[in-house]
């Protein structure tokens, strides 16, 4: 493992206590992200990608969630062991966050200017009046024109795209080293998605941000991320450089995801599809969680969960990978 | 040959919230669908595509225009006659959870249209329901289970089974796979493809996802602020788009190929509020090639190659 990793997640295992007893949602997840780099954490609903992101930021209430094992090393400090007080100092300062639905993450009763200034007041001890200049600067940086007027507006007066820009402005105003973006474009229309994606790409370069992008959209990872980690049923099943994984996916799940997209299929032809359903947490059993849907399944897969194994240029958790 | 379905000058106007103006949710839309075809309708939120879909089967009453089904004007039918006609035209919604009664089991949900239309004996209906469950790829044992016990993809199969129970000629599919994960999306798209051939169905397929529409459609109509801005064979509209809006929509989709990162044609701003449509071409404030004329005159749909596009510069576009 590299010493230069800004974020190193090591064996992270997260469970929830439910009425039916404890349930593992994230299992032995490890990855690292170097300063200024981009990592895409992809997977379908329920794969554990958002729980992973929220655990890194320690945003999940405990109980019911619990870190059962693992470390989250950010700049050398283990966030898994940090107190909420310590986390408050880090969130919004050295780690910025952007979520899918800006309307639920922005405070509807506060003017835009006040919300964006909040991190400066909290982390830099600035007074509201001092912050204005910087707030206007950051609004311009995220492509919001007419910044002086926008400062006085409320979230409901803005479109979805503008609200997402406000979220991004709040996330970067303290010049974080790491930006965690959880489905940042999913709730937006196609043409607005493209605007936000270009903005994130530009800011990443300009500010030298490390970006952890959580998404279900493989196209977005292809465009934005140098490395990719594919999650399935709580585990990372394949990881590597994005170009390598896309060119030669080894895990049958990654292969299935890439080929079943209508963007890649030929018109009128049947889409390759992955049969069956993702097993819910608590019903994943022993062995590989993908075994029941896997075209390459072996007897061993049903008994023994494979670890990540180096294969060609990337690594896949599979006993019988796609060559 | 008479088209299966034709919309002529179809409009839906709502009073604006301020009580003064009119919201032209759908504005003078003409479309036609041949038997056995799939017509894709694409556009972003608020463009009027779902309102249009509902008007095609009179779930929303149009403010003007005609809907012809097998040449017969649906808007002239009495309520009772229209109810009969709905046997031929059924709809599948985006969110199967919201459209399935949580208190009914799967067999009851699928049987409901048969009950309402009084089709067959009790035993015949039960047999039919069993066939439908198998046809859409659900486990026969699921007949006595309830919607909440199913995943999104399975619920969409239930919605489809209910929609085809009356052996319709036309299915209106309103964002049928938008709420589903990629691996499930392809299962449902394949199912729809199978059913179309087996049951000789025709589809109106509404979606915001161009790649899905491209995959399933024979013809495509692109909507912007209540208007069709481009229409034609799917390969022409999506392969050689004529309207700058269609071009931008296509350009906005990221490639699933990290070696082919493209520069997106970025449209500035947001789609305007349908209550406050700009004069001239409604797209002009965001259009990269807008000229003076675009701010003044609304362009008509002009033929260009195999398609039609609503742009003053359609040949140069």
Q: What is the CATH number of the domain that holds B195?
A: 3.40.50.300
Give the pair of three-digit tokens for residue B98. Answer: 């919201």
pLDDT at A46: 86
Q: How far is A217 from chain B (nearest CA, A)?
A: 9
pLDDT value at position A245?
96
Contact A198 B183 (CB under 8 A): no
Is A50 at the interface with chain B, CB within 8 A? no
Which residues of chain A have a CB within 8 Å of the CB of B151? Answer: 277
What is the pLDDT, as a whole number, of residue A19? 85
Q: Which residue has the higher pLDDT, A20 or B127?
A: B127
Prediction pTM value: 0.90
Contact indicator for A273, A260 with CB cutoff of 8 Å? yes
B130 inside domain? no
Tell me the pLDDT tens digit for each residue of A219-244: 999 999 999 999 999 999 999 999 99
Among candidates B45, B212, B254 on the partner chain, residue whose Cβ is nearest the Cβ of A222 = B254
| pLDDT computed for residue B317 by the predictor | 45
CA distances from A181 to A156, A210, A224, B291 (A): 22, 11, 12, 38
Residue A3 pLDDT > 80: no
CA nearest to B192 within chain A = A270
Listed range (A77-81, A92-96, A283-287, A318-322) with the worst mean pLDDT: A283-287
In degrees to the nearest 10, what's the CA dihedral of A26, A32, A36, A40? -40
Asked whether residue A319 carries a pLDDT value surpassing 90, the answer given is: yes
Rg from Cα positions in chain A: 20
Contact of B28 with B191, CB cutoff 8 Å: no
Candidate from A167-176, B16-25, B235-244 with smallest mean pLDDT = B16-25
At A14, which helix (H) or strand (E)? strand A5-18
Look at B211 and A262 and tell me if their CB atoms are within 8 Å.
Answer: yes
Distance CA A222, CA A307 (A): 25
> How far does A190 lie from chain B, in Å, by closest CA?
6
pLDDT-derived band at A160 (thresholds 50, 70, 90) equals confident
Task: Find the mean pLDDT for residues A280-299.
Answer: 90
A60 in Cβ contact with A51 (< 8 Å): yes
CA-to-CA dists, residue A315 to A48, A230, A318, B258, B310, angstroms: 19, 11, 9, 18, 50
Task: Return d(Cα B16, Cα B23) in angstroms, integer.
Answer: 5
SS3 A94: coil
In this structure, is residue B117 part of a structural domain? Answer: no
The answer to whether A271 faces chain B, any CB pair under 8 Å, is yes
Copy the structure tokens of residue B78: 């009495």
Task: Look at chain B and report how many structural domains it folds into.
Answer: 1
Mean pLDDT of B14-31: 88
Average pLDDT of the segment spanning B45-56: 92
Cβ neighbours around B297 below 10 Å, total: 12
Confidence band, pLDDT 50/70/90 cuts, at residue B134: very high
Mean predicted confidence (pLDDT) in B7-30? 90
Q: Residue A1: which pLDDT band, with cuts at 50, 70 and 90?
A: very low
Please name the member of B189, B256, B271 whose beta carbon is closest to the beta carbon of A263. B256
Q: What is the pLDDT of residues A97-129, one digit of tens each?
A: 999 877 778 999 999 999 999 999 989 888 888
Pairwise CA distance, residues A92 & A173, whole Å: 8
Backbone φ and ψ for A28, nearest 5 degrees, come out as 50, 50
Q: What is the pLDDT of residues A269-286, one digit of tens each?
A: 788 888 888 888 877 878
> pLDDT (tens digit, 9 = 90+) per residue, B257-309?
888 877 788 888 887 778 888 899 999 999 999 999 999 999 999 999 999 99
> Is B234–A271 a contact, with Cβ atoms under 8 angstroms apart?
no
Mean pLDDT over residues B17-35, rounded? 89
Instruction: Please report the residues numbered 62 through 121 in chain A whose beta carbons come closer than 8 angstroms to any beta carbon of chain B.
Output: none
Contact assessment for residue B89 and residue B81, using Cβ atoms and an 8 Å cutoff: no
- In whole angstroms, what is the distance from residue B95 CA to residue B100 CA? 9
Which pLDDT band, with edges at 50, 70 and 90, does B316 fall under? low
Q: CB-based contacts of A280: which residues, under 8 Å, 6+ apart?
A: A46
pLDDT above 90 (res A188): no
Whether chain B has a CB inside 8 Å of the CB on A156: the answer is no
> Is B21 contained in some domain?
yes
Indicate whether A268 pLDDT > 90: no
ipTM of the modeled complex: 0.85
- What percent of chain B has pLDDT above 70? 99
Q: What is the DSSP string of A169-208?
A: HHHHTT--SEEEEESTTTTS-HHHHHHHHHHHHHHHHHHT
Task: State both tokens at A84.
Answer: 């909420």
Distance CA A207, CA A292 (A): 44
Q: State how far the Cα of B251 lies from the Cα of B109, in Å rounded to an integer.
A: 41
Interface touch B256/A246, C-beta < 8 Å:
yes
Is it the case that residue A178 has pLDDT exceeding 90? yes
Residue B94 located in a structural domain: no
Distance from the A27 Cα atom to the nearest Cα atom in chain B, whole angstroms: 21
The dihedral formed by the CA atoms of A48, A50, A51 and A56, expressed in degrees to the nearest 10: 130
Q: What residues of B are in contact with residue A222 (Cβ under 8 Å)? A: 254-258, 261
Q: Do A262 and B187 touch (CB under 8 A)?
A: no
The reply to whether B131 falls in a domain is: no
| Residue B102 belongs to some domain of the structure | no
Its domain, for residue B172, covers: 5-88+168-309
Helices (H), chain A: 49-56, 84-90, 102-105, 112-124, 128-141, 147-150, 160-172, 190-207, 218-224, 242-247, 252-260
């Amino acid at each position: 493992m590299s010493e230069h990793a800004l974020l190193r997640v090591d064996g992270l295992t997260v469970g929830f206590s439910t009425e039916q007893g404890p349930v593992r949602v994230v299992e032995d997840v490890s990855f690292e992200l170097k300063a200024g780099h981009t990592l895409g954490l992809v997977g379908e609903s329920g794969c554990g990608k958002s729980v992973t992101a929220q655990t890194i930021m320690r945003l999940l209430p405990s109980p019911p969630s619990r870190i059962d094992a693992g470390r989250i090393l950010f700049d050398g400090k283990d966030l898994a062991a940090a107190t909420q007080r310590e986390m408050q100092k880090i969130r919004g300062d050295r780690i910025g966050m952007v979520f899918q639905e800006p309307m639920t993450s922005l405070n509807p009763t506060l003017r835009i200017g006040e919300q964006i200034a909040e991190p400066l007041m909290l982390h830099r001890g600035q007074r509201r009046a001092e912050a204005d200049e910087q707030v206007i600067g950051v609004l311009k940086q995220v492509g919001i024109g007419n910044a002086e007027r926008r400062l006085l507006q409320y979230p409901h007066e803005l479109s979805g795209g503008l609200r997402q820009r406000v979220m991004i402005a709040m996330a970067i105003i303290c010049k974080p080293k790491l930006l965690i973006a959880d489905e940042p474009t999913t709730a937006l229309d196609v043409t607005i998605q493209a605007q936000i994606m270009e903005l994130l790409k530009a800011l990443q370069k300009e500010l030298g941000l490390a970006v952890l992008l959580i998404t279900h959209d493989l196209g977005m990872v292809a465009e934005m991320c140098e490395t990719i980690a594919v999650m399935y049923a709580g585990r990372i099943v394949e990881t590597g450089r994005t170009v390598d994984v896309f060119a030669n996916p080894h895990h049958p799940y990654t292969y299935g995801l890439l080929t079943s997209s209508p963007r890649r299929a030929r018109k009128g032809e049947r889409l390759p599809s992955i049969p069956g359903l993702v097993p819910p947490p608590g019903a994943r059993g022993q062995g590989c969680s993908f075994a029941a849907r896997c075209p390459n399944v072996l007897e061993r897969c049903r008994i023994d969960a494979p670890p990540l194994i180096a294969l060609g240029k990337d690594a896949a958790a599979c006993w019988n990978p796609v060559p | 040959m008479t088209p299966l379905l034709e919309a002529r000058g179809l409009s839906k106007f709502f009073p604006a919230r301020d009580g003064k103006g009119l919201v032209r949710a759908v504005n003078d839309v003409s479309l036609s669908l041949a038997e056995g075809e799939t017509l894709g309708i694409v556009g972003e939120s608020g463009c009027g595509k779902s309102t249009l879909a509902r008007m095609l089967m009179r779930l929303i009453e149009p403010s003007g225009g005609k809907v012809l089904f097998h040449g017969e004007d649906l808007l002239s039918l009495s309520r009772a006659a229209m109810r009969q006609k709905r046997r031929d035209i059924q709809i599948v919604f985006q969110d199967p959870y919201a459209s399935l009664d949580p208190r009914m089991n799967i067999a009851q949900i699928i049987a409901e249209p048969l009950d309402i239309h009084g089709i067959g004996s009790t035993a015949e209906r039960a047999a039919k329901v069993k066939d439908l469950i198998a046809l859409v790829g659900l486990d026969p044992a699921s007949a006595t289970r309830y919607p909440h016990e199913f995943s999104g993809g399975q619920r969409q199969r239930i919605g489809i089974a209910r929609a085809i129970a009356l052996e319709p000629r036309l299915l209106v599919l309103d964002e049928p796979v938008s709420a589903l994960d990629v691996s499930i999306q392809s299962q449902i798209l394949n199912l729809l493809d199978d059913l179309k051939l087996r049951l000789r169905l025709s589809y109106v397929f509404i979606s915001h996802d161009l790649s899905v529409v491209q995959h399933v459609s024979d013809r495509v109509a692109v909507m912007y602020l209540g208007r069709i801005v481009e229409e034609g064979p799917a390969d022409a509209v999506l392969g050689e788009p004529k309207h700058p809006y269609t071009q931008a929509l296509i350009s906005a989709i990221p490639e699933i190929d990290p070696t082919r990162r493209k520069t997106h044609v970025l449209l500035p701003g947001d789609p305007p509020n349908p209550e406050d449509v700009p004069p001239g071409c409604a797209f002009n404030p965001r259009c990269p090639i807008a000229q003076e004329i675009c701010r003044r005159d609304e362009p008509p749909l002009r033929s260009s190659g195999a398609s039609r596009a609503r742009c003053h510069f359609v040949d140069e576009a």
